[in-house]
Amino acid sequence: MAEQKPEPGNAVATNDLSALVILLLKGVIYQEADAGTWNSLLNLQARVRDYVTVLGLELVLDEAEGYTFLRSRPESEDDAAPKLPRLVARRPLSFTVSLLLALLRKKLAEFDASGGDTRLVLSRDEIVELVRVFLPESSNEAKLIDQIETHLNKIVELGFLRRLKPGTGQAAVFEVRRILKAFVDAQWLADFDARLAAYQAQLGATSGGAADE
């Protein structure tokens, strides 16, 4: 009996599927960065969804914003269902990093409401001013900026900011990546706002006590 060979088109599709899943497991895919890969993903997204479901993952794809990534599927409430190991690790964030993400998300919402450009670009100094009011007063300005720079580097590493090349003599400049909207939703902001209000009240009480002394 003659051996049946796979049709060339199916082989290409299979190779594309494997390559797409590997890229997604490595991180976010942006339309602006690779239009060819993006178009392949749009054509094969149903098969990609089926494939990653077996791994306990789901595909998040936002055509309007031009990004896609994988995240763990919500755990089943069925106690008898087997628990799969997490392929996408959870990363605990410090308070200041969480604060910066919330402030950047709010800034992005305000920016979108203004109907201006599609890219929100902020200087390091603008971001420092956003967060300064929520931090304890510091007499060491250089130390404060260095600390915020460290947190900004962490956010760049997480993929929510992109460092741009500043002009001559300018401070660092960052683009707020729109994928932040997928991770910081209205409920997350509401929960964080409640915790932030409690923190500010505590901070105010501490400052007042220090002043009384």
CATH number at residue 169: 1.10.10.580
Confidence of residue 91 (pLDDT cuts 50, 70, 90): low
Q: Which whole number is the average pLDDT over 68-72? A: 89
- Answer yes or no: is 156 within a domain: yes
Do 114 and 161 fall within a single domain? yes
Domain that holds residue 64: 8-72
Q: What confidence tens digit (pLDDT) does each residue in 109-143 have?
A: 889 888 767 789 999 999 999 888 777 777 788 88
Do 68 and 133 fall within a single domain? no
Strand partners, 121: 175
Do 190 and 104 fall within a single domain? yes
- Answer yes or no: is 81 within a domain: no
For 80, the token pair is 């008898």
68: part of which helix (H) or strand (E)? strand 67-72
Q: Which residue has the higher pLDDT, 71 or 193?
A: 71
Q: Where are the alpha helices (DSSP H) in the chain?
A: 8-26, 35-53, 95-113, 124-132, 141-158, 180-183, 186-212
CA distance 71 to 89: 9
Q: If you average pLDDT over every residue of the chain, what do you get?
A: 79
Closest by Cα among 71, 79, 38 to 55: 71
Do 120 and 66 fall within a single domain? no
Do 109 and 57 fall within a single domain? no
- Answer yes or no: is 88 within a domain: no
CA distance 60 to 30: 12
- Answer yes or no: is 87 within a domain: no
Q: How many domains does the chain have?
A: 2
- Answer yes or no: is 192 within a domain: yes
Q: Which residue has the higher pLDDT, 212 or 40?
A: 40
Do 155 and 200 fall within a single domain? yes
pLDDT value of position 202? 63
Q: What confidence tens digit (pLDDT) does each residue in 9-63 have?
A: 443 455 689 999 999 988 889 998 889 999 999 999 999 999 999 888 999 999 9
For 168, the token pair is 């001559």
- Answer yes or no: is 176 within a domain: yes
CA distance 60 to 183: 11
pLDDT value of position 76? 58
CA distance 86 to 89: 6
Statement: residue 210 has pLDDT above 50: no
Tell me the three state secondary structure of residue 92.
coil
Do 41 and 127 fall within a single domain? no
| Percentage of residues of the chain with pLDDT beyond 90 | 31
Q: Find the CATH number of the domain harbouring 65.
A: 1.10.10
- Answer yes or no: is 86 within a domain: no
Closest by Cα among 30, 22, 77 to 48: 22
